Amino acid sequence: MTGRDSGRTMDAVSGPHAGQPLLAAGAPALAADAALVVCHGRGATAQGVVNLFEPVYRHGLAVLAPQAERSRWYPRSAAAPRTENEPWLSSSVDCVAAACEAAAEIGIPPEQTVLAGFSQGACVVAEYVRRNPDRYGGLAVLSATLPGSATELEATDIDGSLAATPVLLGYGAEDPYIDPSRVAATAQIFERADAAVDERRYPETGHEVTDDEFAAIGALLETALEA
């Protein structure tokens, strides 16, 4: 990829992830027309997810990747009650907020910002959008769902509109960590908030990112760059 490869510390974040780094890559501030906020999975790193998503990078795209403390956004399963993953879950949402604020500081509004993540990192970006409804350039939830127990998901409604934000929910049919009923519940929550949900289930695919998902995210970024 071209451009910068630097970062800063997320000093405004409170809780377990306070003071962790925010990695910046891609286009420099003066040349950025859109932003990709991307979160790594459990056991991975910000640099690792920057490298993973390299197939979607475009000219004029700034990439912002927060780092979780000890490479873990929260300690329990995504299917656990949300309170059991606090204060880590709220602190991780604050990290996504810090990345979005960094995009805003270089003139990139939410509608030109695409949020994406893989596995636990995808749960985090999905939770950020649930708590902060707006018109985003897109949301890509790869091999993950919204966090919370089945009862919590059933009772969840987003307090606001996503105003036709495109939401990609992609997962493998052979992924041992994904319950299709939770994917369906997540899709319904976003649809009730006026999102345009694109659910893609890939046969003979495990816990991984597919070329089709990279292509779909690339299309979201092309639209954001042209806005």
Taking only the tens place, the pLDDT of each residue in 163-204 is: 999 999 999 999 999 999 999 999 999 999 999 999 999 999
Average pLDDT, stretch 65-79? 97
Report the share of the chain in percent with pLDDT over 90.
93
Q: What is the largest CA-CA distance in the chain?
A: 46
> So what's the pLDDT on residue 122?
98
For residues 55 and 51, what is the distance between their CA atoms, to the nearest angstrom? Answer: 9
> So what's the pLDDT on residue 12?
87
Model confidence at 146, in pLDDT bands (50, 70, 90)? Answer: very high
> So what's the pLDDT on residue 6?
64
Model confidence at 208, in pLDDT bands (50, 70, 90)? Answer: very high
Q: Are 136 and 111 in contact (CB under 8 A)?
A: yes
5 pLDDT above the threshold of 80: no
Model confidence at 82, in pLDDT bands (50, 70, 90)? Answer: very high
> So what's the pLDDT on residue 29?
85
Model confidence at 227, in pLDDT bands (50, 70, 90)? Answer: confident
Q: 91-114 b/e with 16+ CB inside 10 Å = b? A: bbbbbbbbbbebbeebebbbbbbb
